A and B are shown apart, each in its own frame.
Chain A
């Protein structure tokens, strides 16, 4: 009996088995939800409303990652420089934003920033008053930039000293060296972890909902909260939100894997198995 079972199992391809496991887990989840008075119809009815938050989530993270990458680049260059000012500023920046909770930073930027303006300068106060979305983007960018400073620093340092010297010996300035020689090589090591940070950021962007954004600019989680509370269907609403985040991060993971493949051009001497019939092996061309 046991032997037959083992034989039967060995005959099934691994991927099929994996799919079966996922299927079983999904069934169990569906079963548990069915016990919990789960209103599928409500979910379908409100799917569109919550999905409308998707573009906002993407916009928030898109802007925040641009800010974060910029800060991380200058942060890393600062940490690696000989200047006390550059090292001091970047050291303070990374220490603070890595040492305090993101949610606290969001509220500080959202609530505390306007109060920095003296009362006799209402104009300044107004311009320091940010929408929830703006504060969220800035906080996410600053926070992730601080973490990514380390990623960028490690990437830049991984480029051998010989590369820097060869560039120097050719008469390149610091900027030329960085732009043309060091960063293009560092980027290969920087992109994979940056992709991970972006995926983490997609999830952390849900925190912005706690700042209470205006209806027109609500991201996924805020919409789910709102509609779920109103109809006393929070579970259904959050399931939709979770599914949307999950789909989003999965798409980006696939995208990131593709990018990583392309980045290895010039570094691998690979022989690639051809998919064309009749051609057994082709040397892959560095892109």
Chain B
């Protein structure tokens, strides 16, 4: 319980001369739901992408349930460490990124079978449960092209969950959706947090969702977390001038 699921220490990331993350420290404990918010370009996506090394940090350390990662050459050992972090940290993208050549079910079982070497029949059974959980049991044999955006994102959530991650990372999961489809995705995420106590890191500007589900809110400003605390405190009584200004704009 004391060991955090995700520990980010002194994380720096630059793209050329542009320093996007300027020393992020963040612990996420089991069952916690951290909502990350802040202006466009403040580095929220970059943080999530550094945690699973889709971007290589410039410096700092990442620890995901006991596996420690530091930037360095991609030796065999480093690659395996990165892979084990990726398996432990599920990721849901703004643009869904479902595999179009596979059916919904195949999307969900692909990684358990290919990456974890799980038995196919077992994976199918698990996948069917997960699809039922996100309300898409009847779509198992469709191809993604025939799904709405909200359905695609729910499949993407099921696909990530199929790997039995320790933490789920969501990068603006509803930003690409039509307004009427947002709530179906948020409600899946809400039940993930409340019913299965999934540890989650969510970049979102859905403040209603944050207020209700977040245990911690972290406000990003120019590559730093400038304010952090429970939603009741951060939303109701922001301390930092930038947080105040941002909340006034979105609420």
Contact = CB atoms under 8 A, between A and B. Distances in A.
A248 interface: no
A162 B95 contact: yes
Interface stretch (A54-62, A64-72, A170-178, A252-260): A170-178
A269 B145 contact: yes
Given A265-B143, A266-B145, A267-B145, A171 B100 contact: no
Interface string B113-149: 0110000000000000000000000000001111000
A205 to B, nearest CB: 33
B114 to A, nearest CB: 5
A261 to B, nearest CB: 16
Contacts of A269: 145-146
Contact of A170 (B86, B95, B102, B146): B86
Interface stretch (A91-99, A179-187, A191-199, A219-227): A179-187
Interface string B233-248: 0000000000000000
B218 to A, nearest CB: 21
A166 interface: yes
Contacts of B145: 266-269
B115 A163 contact: no
Contacts of B77: none
Contacts of A176: 114-115
A168 interface: yes
B86 A180 contact: no
| Chain A, interface SS category | helix
B54 A168 contact: yes
Most buried by A among B84, B87, B90, B114: B114
B97 A162 contact: yes
Nearest to B156: A166
B166 interface: no
Given A173-B83, A266-B145, A166 B114 contact: no
Interface residues of B, number: 29
Most buried by B among A163, A170, A185: A170
Contacts of B97: 160, 162-163, 165-166
Contact of B93 (A162, A171, A265): A162
B99 interface: yes
Interface in A236-272: 265-269
Given A265-B143, A266-B100, A267-B100, A169 B86 contact: yes
A67 to B, nearest CB: 26
B159 A165 contact: no
Contacts of A170: 86-87, 110-111, 115, 159-160, 163
B174 interface: no
A266 B110 contact: no
A162 B54 CA distance: 11
Nearest to A180: B114
Interface in B75-118: 79, 83-84, 86-87, 90-91, 93, 95, 97-103, 110-111, 114-115
Nearest to B142: A286
B86 A185 contact: no
19 contacts: A160-B97, A162-B95, A163-B97, A165-B97, A166-B97, A166-B98, A166-B99, A168-B54, A169-B54, A170-B111, A170-B163, A171-B111, A176-B115, A266-B101, A266-B103, A266-B143, A266-B144, A266-B145, A267-B143
Given A166-B99, A180-B114, A269-B145, 7 more contacts: A163-B99, A166-B91, A169-B54, A169-B91, A176-B114, A268-B145, A286-B143
